[in-house]
Amino acid sequence: MKKINISILIIFLTAGVHYSFSQGQPVPQKPMAPATLPGKGLAQFDFFYAGEGKVQNMYMVRKGKVVWSYQDIVSRGEISDAVVMTNGNILFAHQYGITLITPEKKILWKYTTPAGHETHTAQPIGKDHVVFIQNGDTARLFVVNITTGKTITNFILPTKKPIDVHSQFRHARLTDKGTMMVAHMDLGRVCEYDINGKELLSLEVPSVWSAEPLKNGNILVASNLGFVRELNRKGEIVWEYLPREVPDYTLTSPQIAFRRSNGNTIINNWFNEFSRKPDRANPPIQAVEVTNEKQIVWALRAWDNPDLGPSTVIQLLDEPGITENVFFGNIH
């Protein structure tokens, strides 16, 4: 009988070192992060948390404890974007729709994405309007009055050919000038549009996942290729975080990065639980806070009691951030 050579992977923790066994030989596995992380973990600050996972889960963490959670194990889709409004309501985009709920989880408004389309980003404008992007053939940006249900405006967004609906868009945010900054993930560029759909800016960013406008006029971008950059409007790199610069930490897939009021940057590090489960003996970190000098001052690793799941969105609850207090052209 012919002998079949099968590689068996077994990962375990012995004296702080991880191993895999391939063809019977132990091979050391690099830890995803130090055993002791900087900062205070869940107690570092009060925050809202959500991520692209197999189920729609969202959490509020205060004083190191989960004080509110939303879990939908029935609906299809992954949460790619979510915003806590000043009145406590939560708007979230979940691939096949957009939903606005109260803290008591009552649905105030819901949009169902048409067949063959997806929605991965949405932002409230005041209390009555929502701006969102609908992936598809053809992709469009919409502004809808959620009180009347009327579409106020919409325009076509360019996409890569042939069409791959899922990979087109993940993130867009309004600027303080009333324009929209859009991450074209499939085209590998960040573009700014006015209310009429006119392109005002286009910067090349390979596989860009998110684009956050900064107060200084620059744009903070994150790419699922593994980098975070601050770009000026000429496309020049003002600041950059590369995983190889901090070898003790493994960032698998940066999604949304945002700039804190203290000048530090928080990076959500997504883990793909659709293809595998996190190794409980060597779990990935879900987020880091990085100083301008590339020092990590906080890292989050919460995969058990509580298990927050994959990380896409973190919104700090005690300092200014994305809210409904924005405008798009003449829409307030």
The model's pLDDT over 167-195, given as tens digits with 9 standing for 90+, comes to 999 999 999 999 999 999 999 999 999 99
Quick one: what percent of the chain has pLDDT higher than 90? Answer: 80
Domains of the chain in sequence order? 1-30 (no CATH), 38-316 (2.120.10.30)
The predicted model gives 302-325 an average pLDDT of 92
Q: What is the pTM of this model?
A: 0.90
Q: Average pLDDT of the chain? A: 90
Count the neighbouring beta carbons within 10 Å of the beta carbon of residue 187: 22
What confidence tens digit (pLDDT) does each residue in 32-79 have?
999 999 999 999 999 999 999 988 999 999 999 999 999 988 888 999
3-state class of 167 per DSSP? helix
- Alpha carbon 133 to its chain's center: 15
Question: Which amino acid is residue 134, in one-letter code?
Answer: Q
Distance CA 197, CA 228 (A): 27
CA distances from 30 to 27, 246, 248, 249 (A): 10, 13, 9, 10
Pair of tokens at residue 113: 């994405």
Contact (CB, 8 A) for 29 and 19: yes
Is the model's pLDDT at 14 over the cut of 70? no
Which residues are registered as beta bridge partners of 253? none
Q: State pLDDT tens for residues 250-292.
A: 888 999 999 999 999 999 999 988 888 888 789 999 999 999 9
Please report the pLDDT score of residue 113 as a whole number.
97
Position 74 scores a pLDDT of 83
Take residue 268 and report the two structure tokens written for it: 């959500």
Lowest mean pLDDT segment, chosen from 21-25, 210-214, 257-261 = 21-25
